[in-house]
Structure 1
Amino acid sequence: MNDVKKIEMLEEMMELEHGTLNVDTKLSDLEEWDSIALISFIALIDDEFDKVLRGSVVKQSKTVSDLMALMEA
Protein backbone atom coordinates (compact mmCIF):
# COMPACT_ATOMS: atom_id res chain seq x y z
CA MET A 1 0.00 0.00 0.00
CA ASN A 2 1.39 3.39 -0.92
CA ASP A 3 1.78 6.40 1.36
CA VAL A 4 -1.05 8.37 -0.27
CA LYS A 5 -3.52 5.58 0.48
CA LYS A 6 -2.30 5.32 4.09
CA ILE A 7 -2.76 9.06 4.61
CA GLU A 8 -6.23 8.86 3.07
CA MET A 9 -7.12 6.07 5.50
CA LEU A 10 -5.91 8.17 8.44
CA GLU A 11 -7.85 11.23 7.24
CA GLU A 12 -11.01 9.14 6.88
CA MET A 13 -10.52 7.56 10.30
CA MET A 14 -10.19 10.99 11.95
CA GLU A 15 -12.93 12.49 9.76
CA LEU A 16 -10.57 15.08 8.28
CA GLU A 17 -10.83 16.71 4.88
CA HIS A 18 -8.72 15.20 2.11
CA GLY A 19 -5.32 16.88 2.02
CA THR A 20 -5.28 17.81 5.70
CA LEU A 21 -2.49 15.41 6.68
CA ASN A 22 1.03 14.93 5.43
CA VAL A 23 3.89 12.78 6.70
CA ASP A 24 5.24 15.61 8.86
CA THR A 25 1.94 16.45 10.59
CA LYS A 26 2.41 16.34 14.36
CA LEU A 27 -0.30 14.35 16.09
CA SER A 28 -0.20 16.75 19.04
CA ASP A 29 -1.35 19.52 16.66
CA LEU A 30 -4.50 17.60 15.73
CA GLU A 31 -7.56 18.12 17.87
CA GLU A 32 -8.95 14.95 16.26
CA TRP A 33 -6.07 12.80 17.59
CA ASP A 34 -7.53 11.70 20.91
CA SER A 35 -8.13 8.46 22.80
CA ILE A 36 -11.00 7.51 20.48
CA ALA A 37 -8.79 8.06 17.42
CA LEU A 38 -6.08 5.95 19.02
CA ILE A 39 -8.53 3.08 19.52
CA SER A 40 -9.85 3.58 15.99
CA PHE A 41 -6.29 3.39 14.66
CA ILE A 42 -5.70 0.10 16.50
CA ALA A 43 -8.94 -1.26 15.01
CA LEU A 44 -7.95 -0.03 11.55
CA ILE A 45 -4.59 -1.81 11.77
CA ASP A 46 -6.33 -4.98 12.91
CA ASP A 47 -8.96 -4.86 10.13
CA GLU A 48 -6.83 -3.67 7.22
CA PHE A 49 -3.43 -5.19 8.01
CA ASP A 50 -4.34 -8.11 10.28
CA LYS A 51 -1.92 -6.85 12.94
CA VAL A 52 -2.39 -6.35 16.65
CA LEU A 53 -0.92 -3.23 18.23
CA ARG A 54 -0.84 -2.21 21.87
CA GLY A 55 -2.03 1.23 22.83
CA SER A 56 1.30 1.93 24.49
CA VAL A 57 3.07 1.44 21.15
CA VAL A 58 0.68 3.76 19.32
CA LYS A 59 0.99 6.41 22.07
CA GLN A 60 4.71 6.70 21.27
CA SER A 61 3.86 8.01 17.80
CA LYS A 62 4.53 11.71 17.36
CA THR A 63 3.79 12.25 13.63
CA VAL A 64 1.66 10.87 10.83
CA SER A 65 4.86 9.27 9.54
CA ASP A 66 5.14 7.33 12.81
CA LEU A 67 1.59 5.98 12.35
CA MET A 68 2.38 5.04 8.78
CA ALA A 69 5.44 3.11 9.97
CA LEU A 70 3.20 1.13 12.32
CA MET A 71 1.07 0.21 9.31
CA GLU A 72 4.17 -1.44 7.85
CA ALA A 73 5.69 -2.89 11.02
Structure 2
Amino acid sequence: MKLEEFIANFEDIVMVDHGTINMETQLSDLEDWDSLSKASLLATFEEQFSLKLEDSALRNLQSFAEIVELIKDRLE
Protein backbone atom coordinates (compact mmCIF):
# COMPACT_ATOMS: atom_id res chain seq x y z
CA MET A 1 0.00 0.00 0.00
CA LYS A 2 1.27 3.45 -0.84
CA LEU A 3 1.19 6.32 1.64
CA GLU A 4 -1.51 8.10 -0.39
CA GLU A 5 -3.73 5.02 -0.21
CA PHE A 6 -3.18 4.74 3.53
CA ILE A 7 -4.07 8.39 4.02
CA ALA A 8 -7.32 7.92 2.06
CA ASN A 9 -8.11 4.82 4.11
CA PHE A 10 -7.43 6.70 7.35
CA GLU A 11 -9.64 9.58 6.20
CA ASP A 12 -12.46 7.07 5.68
CA ILE A 13 -11.88 5.62 9.15
CA VAL A 14 -12.09 9.02 10.86
CA MET A 15 -14.85 10.20 8.51
CA VAL A 16 -13.24 13.32 7.07
CA ASP A 17 -13.13 14.54 3.48
CA HIS A 18 -10.32 13.19 1.35
CA GLY A 19 -7.48 15.68 1.28
CA THR A 20 -8.00 16.66 4.93
CA ILE A 21 -5.29 14.54 6.57
CA ASN A 22 -1.61 15.35 6.27
CA MET A 23 1.50 14.53 8.28
CA GLU A 24 0.93 17.52 10.57
CA THR A 25 -2.64 16.55 11.47
CA GLN A 26 -3.13 16.35 15.23
CA LEU A 27 -5.30 13.40 16.21
CA SER A 28 -6.96 15.43 18.97
CA ASP A 29 -8.34 17.74 16.27
CA LEU A 30 -10.28 14.87 14.66
CA GLU A 31 -13.81 14.66 15.98
CA ASP A 32 -14.11 10.96 15.14
CA TRP A 33 -10.75 9.81 16.54
CA ASP A 34 -12.32 7.51 19.12
CA SER A 35 -12.21 3.90 20.26
CA LEU A 36 -14.14 2.69 17.20
CA SER A 37 -11.79 4.41 14.76
CA LYS A 38 -8.78 3.09 16.69
CA ALA A 39 -10.18 -0.45 16.43
CA SER A 40 -10.70 0.04 12.69
CA LEU A 41 -7.15 1.31 12.32
CA LEU A 42 -5.77 -1.69 14.20
CA ALA A 43 -7.77 -3.98 11.90
CA THR A 44 -6.32 -2.16 8.88
CA PHE A 45 -2.81 -2.64 10.25
CA GLU A 46 -3.42 -6.36 10.62
CA GLU A 47 -5.19 -6.89 7.28
CA GLN A 48 -3.08 -4.65 5.06
CA PHE A 49 0.33 -4.84 6.72
CA SER A 50 0.27 -8.09 8.74
CA LEU A 51 1.03 -5.96 11.76
CA LYS A 52 -0.74 -6.88 14.98
CA LEU A 53 -0.71 -4.15 17.62
CA GLU A 54 -2.53 -3.74 20.89
CA ASP A 55 -4.84 -0.75 21.30
CA SER A 56 -2.39 0.62 23.85
CA ALA A 57 0.03 1.24 20.95
CA LEU A 58 -2.29 4.02 19.76
CA ARG A 59 -3.16 5.50 23.12
CA ASN A 60 -0.38 8.08 23.36
CA LEU A 61 -0.08 9.04 19.71
CA GLN A 62 -0.55 12.74 19.05
CA SER A 63 -0.23 13.11 15.28
CA PHE A 64 -0.90 11.32 12.04
CA ALA A 65 2.88 11.30 11.45
CA GLU A 66 3.26 9.08 14.51
CA ILE A 67 0.77 6.61 13.01
CA VAL A 68 2.73 6.56 9.77
CA GLU A 69 5.91 5.94 11.76
CA LEU A 70 4.40 2.64 12.97
CA ILE A 71 3.97 1.35 9.40
CA LYS A 72 6.58 3.25 7.40
CA ASP A 73 8.64 0.13 6.71
CA ARG A 74 5.58 -1.58 5.24
CA LEU A 75 4.54 1.21 2.85
CA GLU A 76 5.54 1.11 -0.80
What range describes the TM-score normalised by the shorter chain of this pair?
0.7 to 0.9
With structure 2 as the length reference, what TM-score do the two structures score?
A: 0.85
Residues 17-72 of structure 1 show CA distances to partners (whole Å, capped at 9, x for unaligned) of 11111110000011110011111110110011011011111112110111111123
Query: What 5-or-longer segments of structure 1 have no aligned partner?
Result: none
Name the counterpart of 2:66.
66
Name the counterpart of 2:23.
23
Query: What 5-or-longer segments of structure 2 have no aligned partner?
Result: none
Name the counterpart of 2:47.
47
C-alpha distance in 2, partners of 1:43/1:64?
17
With structure 1 as the length reference, what TM-score do the two structures score?
A: 0.88
Could you tell me the percent identity over the aligned residues? 30
- What is the CA RMSD across the aligned residues, in angstroms? 1.4
C-alpha distance in 2, partners of 1:70/1:9?
15
User: Which portions of structure 1, spanning 4 or more consecutive aligned residues, are displaced by more than 3 angstroms?
Assistant: none
Aligned length: 73
